[in-house]
Amino acid sequence: MSIRSRDFDRLISKFGFQTRDSGDLLAWFEYEGRVVLRTKRSRTPGSRDLPFQHTIRHQMKLNEDELGEAIRCTLGREDYIALLRRKGVL
């Protein structure tokens, strides 16, 4: 599954990541007042696949199938939190 810039932006928005622009787009996921995950993406046009997709997916703690569900919008914020709990991240 490939990740495009607009897919990444939609995912971090849906999951409630905080963001900051510093040349690249930095994103981090906070839960109960602490930062749990961090990731970033380079500034590329919305129609292009992102570089380092495997790294982004790994940093978000998603496997290929979970990433596909998230991009197809069948995985929401509460589902993501439950998934992180199952994986021992939270």
Q: How many CB atoms lie within 10 A of CB 48?
A: 12
pLDDT of residue 19: 94
pTM given for the model: 0.83
User: How confident is the model at residue 74, as a pLDDT?
Assistant: 86
Q: So where are the chain's domains?
A: 5-86
Name beta bridge partners: 38: 28
Host H or E run for residue 10: helix 5-15
DSSP string, 37-84: EEEEE----TTSBPTTHHHHHHHTT--HHHHHHHHTT-S-HHHHHHHH
Tell me: pLDDT of 1 over 70: no
> What are the tens digits of pLDDT across the range 20-79?
998 889 999 999 999 999 999 887 665 677 878 889 999 999 999 998 888 888 888 999
pLDDT for the residue 7? 87
